[in-house]
Structure 1
């Protein structure tokens, strides 16, 4: 069976919650052998972040939270007590057999255990060591704990998300998913792959310092560039776009739809569909720059037109002439959508307790080394014996001894 592009790469995942586990899952999806280290009896914090819980075959809750399931497939779970000297030695030995370590402890938190980068590098100079924190390894905020919601506020995202001042429901709003955690996981994945490529040429590993706040600022993209170039502070605009018009939601006879016009040709087609071809020749709206300058007038005109037909009717009409548009779907409609189903964005993976667990698929499509769904998110400590025998060649007696002394 094709084991993926990263077959043979060993990853020791000491992280918990979302950003680190997301990176670990991405590497695991690409074929790496990812070992997730968890606390005995409790495990990753997110195991308790429910409901909802995965149900077993009798419909009873398994204790596996949906939150935990979203970021931990294709991994093996090992339980080790880091407060135990013997447990620390187990982690150290596992790190010696690893290509990558991912951790999201507080800055300096692993020094006391001898599991920080400098300590592990001395014994394994080829190690790629990725540290994920709220604010980075250096700087005045380095010691602070970091959380996605907090960083969405501090990093400016909430200042541009939500209805504008004076509008109904105005005020800053966080994004509806922990997007900074997810983006940090993706940046971590890119950095780890780059560090592995560098190691192939240099023979040396390196330390990766990733901060949620840095990532949050980096993915502000055009909004940050608008500020740096235009020297004007972006404001909340609801669903409108600061640089393109019309590019937002519009009311219909039975709800709302999105119109996303990206150029003047598409705008002309939109005007034809709306029954107002003359708008495309109006001096206020001929170019995108003019439409941005006259945003309020144009949006008001379009709103008056779109309420006359249903969402489905408008979408059919606009798609027929190449105007980008679409519905605002709830998640039940997302996973029922024929295109989403064709793309197989929902997968079922065998689970040792539930029989089968439904998961969101990885969106990466690779022709030569495709993503494989080898295993479900592991139960707590499911692979402790297997991994310690596989990576460290421990005997059954060794395992019994460690377990008796509560190191694993």
Structure 2
């Protein structure tokens, strides 16, 4: 936790993964992050089963507070405007134009609070031909080309497992908001930061796009399975072990020689088909066949021992159950545990930002119930009496 962040007030009007992850990073650094939700809660809460909060909500909303307002009423709008007058950052990932229609356009907010940083996360941005298209992680994966590059050449396009466009957007939004806060230190003025999830994916296609430009006259598959997206490196694949799978990459001749020696197939180093990186890439089918013949005779642990000693880049393909108890993530604090009132002891996302200066460890609080901090936040920041704060909830959650 950064002490210098403890004075920051961040209003999070966001749902699902994109905006809430940006807010979580602020919360990890010590900012006061206040989720302003509809009376029924943000959209991710709707995945709840019974009284238990959905675990995806619990994972991404530690150390935040919750206030619920009905923005269809003038009273709810007035309270939100007063909160934003006190805020340093507003995080929002509503559809383009939504806040303007509600009366919270950037021009209005910055006129009232010139120091406010408005961090706006969008699927395709506020401009361009796709701006008004509905956007979720799946659709942005499709539009960005990510799905077309995922899968095997003889199979259909496949979405990636992780919701990486949502989180990429949230990470970039946090970086943009931080840049705007730094600029505010110099100028005294806030500004609007807009991040399109779609924009953030294009740089990630560097290897795949290189295939187009490196071999413009050659017909190559868009989907390369577990091989290098540009088909420019070999060995580079996920290889079968006797009890699972192992990812192996040889980024240099030294790695290649050591891999062959570790697998007991050192004789293939002298095979002219594998004499240099270009030839190995051109003959990757034959190369992968020979490597698989060796790896499939050994367990993941046996292969890990041999390749670890050899200094070859590798990793066992871990299952989700193995990730859930990963000792490395636990030791580094990326997996934290909280006592949730309904869900019990559950894992949540730790802080991936390692800061050496002005930091102190802090405990993790569970994601709040809807409006759990209504009276405290509105009383402390806006001097609204408890009964009036609760009256804003109508008949819900009192």
What is the TM-score when the length of structure 1 is the normalising length? 0.90
Cα pair distance change 1:370/1:163, threshold 3 Å = farther
Cα pair distance change 1:81/1:162, threshold 3 Å = same
Q: Once structures 1 and 2 are overlaid, which stretch shifts more, 174-183 or 324-333?
A: 324-333
After superposition, residues 8-407 of structure 1 pair within 5 angstroms as 8-40=7-39, 42-50=40-48, 62-165=51-154, 170-227=155-212, 231=216, 235-241=222-228, 242-354=231-343, 356-368=345-357, 369=359, 372-399=362-389, 402-403=392-393
Quote the Cα distance in structure 2 between the aligned partners of 1:351 and 1:254: 36
Q: Once structures 1 and 2 are overlaid, which stretch shifts more, 219-228 or 95-104?
A: 219-228
Residue 120 of structure 1 and its aligned partner are, at CA, apart by 0.3
Secondary structure class of the residue paired with 1:301: helix
Q: CA RMSD in A?
A: 2.3
Deviation track 1:316-340 (CA, whole Å, cap 9, x = no partner) reads 1111121122211112222334333
Task: Give the unaligned 5+ runs of structure 2.
Answer: none
Deviation track 1:34-62 (CA, whole Å, cap 9, x = no partner) reads 1001111x2011112245xxxxxxxxx53
Kept in 1, the 8 Å contact 2:18–2:169? The answer is yes
Task: Give the unaligned 5+ runs of structure 1.
Answer: 52-60
Residue 222 of structure 1 and its aligned partner are, at CA, apart by 3.0
Structure 1 stretches of at least 4 aligned residues deviating more than 6 Å after TM superposition: 405-408
Residue 237 of structure 1 and its aligned partner are, at CA, apart by 0.9
What is the TM-score when the length of structure 2 is the normalising length? 0.92
Residue 355 of structure 1 and its aligned partner are, at CA, apart by 5.2
Cα pair distance change 1:370/1:265, threshold 3 Å = farther
Kept in 2, the 8 Å contact 1:69–1:377? The answer is yes
Residue 9 of structure 1 and its aligned partner are, at CA, apart by 1.0
Quote the Cα distance in structure 2 between the aligned partners of 1:99 and 1:234: 48
Secondary structure class of the residue paired with 2:87: coil
Quote the Cα distance in structure 2 between the aligned partners of 1:4 and 1:282: 60
Quote the Cα distance in structure 2 between the aligned partners of 1:255 and 1:407: 49
Residue 100 of structure 1 and its aligned partner are, at CA, apart by 0.6
Residue 359 of structure 1 and its aligned partner are, at CA, apart by 1.3
Secondary structure class of the residue paired with 1:220: helix
Q: Once structures 1 and 2 are overlaid, which stretch shifts more, 251-260 or 20-29?
A: 251-260
Quote the Cα distance in structure 2 between the aligned partners of 1:225 and 1:243: 9
